[in-house]
Amino acid sequence: MLNPDGVYLGNYRCSLMGFDLNRHWQDPSPWAHPTLHAVKQLIVQMNQDPKVSLEFYIDVHAHSTMMNGFMYGNVFEEEERGQRQAVFPQLLCQNAPDFSLSSTSFNRDMVKAGTGRRFLGGLLDDTSYCYTLEVSFYSYMTAGSTSPVPYTEDGYMKLGRNVARTFLDYYKLNNLIDESKLTGHINSPFDGTSTSHQGNNAGNGKFKGDRKPHGVRDY
């Protein structure tokens, strides 16, 4: 939580001083943006520590106009790095029926250079993956559905569990889950332990399947 004072006042984007904190990662002020300044220093220190492997940075935001959960990622010159970056969203789509792979997009426009995803994507090496996970303020639609379903606190928490499940998939640690305890939950539209869902590809994004992600939308 990098915006505690703003959130306390009811703001969803700006801090107490009126700053959109996700535009000041390049040069955060210890006075005006203290949380960003501290976290940036921590990440830089971790990145310089040979004992630390900093592999993922995921900045979680609410989205005020689009539905479902989806991700923004970066664009790289190296095609192989871009393909590796696309793996996590594809895996998440398999676990979360409210995650939209087609709304997931990748860009490197300069307007967003001050975001955490963009700045850290340029700072960290090619073994690190930086994303923004956006989740709708209000609703989601699953594949084949005809009407939106309102998000609830429980729905957001289940999406979080599905993100955790995706890390197990990514690192091939599914053996840590007792599959015998999953009986009766397979049809739950949000359950973090579900293995049968194929995610939601509905939306207006340009990212499709295993094609190379590219900067087609500005976020």
Catalytically active residues are 134
Distance CA 18, CA 6 (A): 8
Strand-by-strand arrangement of the 56-63 sheet: 56-63, 129-136, 69-74, 105-107
Which residues fall within 8 angstroms of residue 194, CB to CB, at 6 or more apart? 95, 97, 162, 182, 185, 186, 187, 188
How would you classify the pairing of strands 105-107 and 69-74? parallel
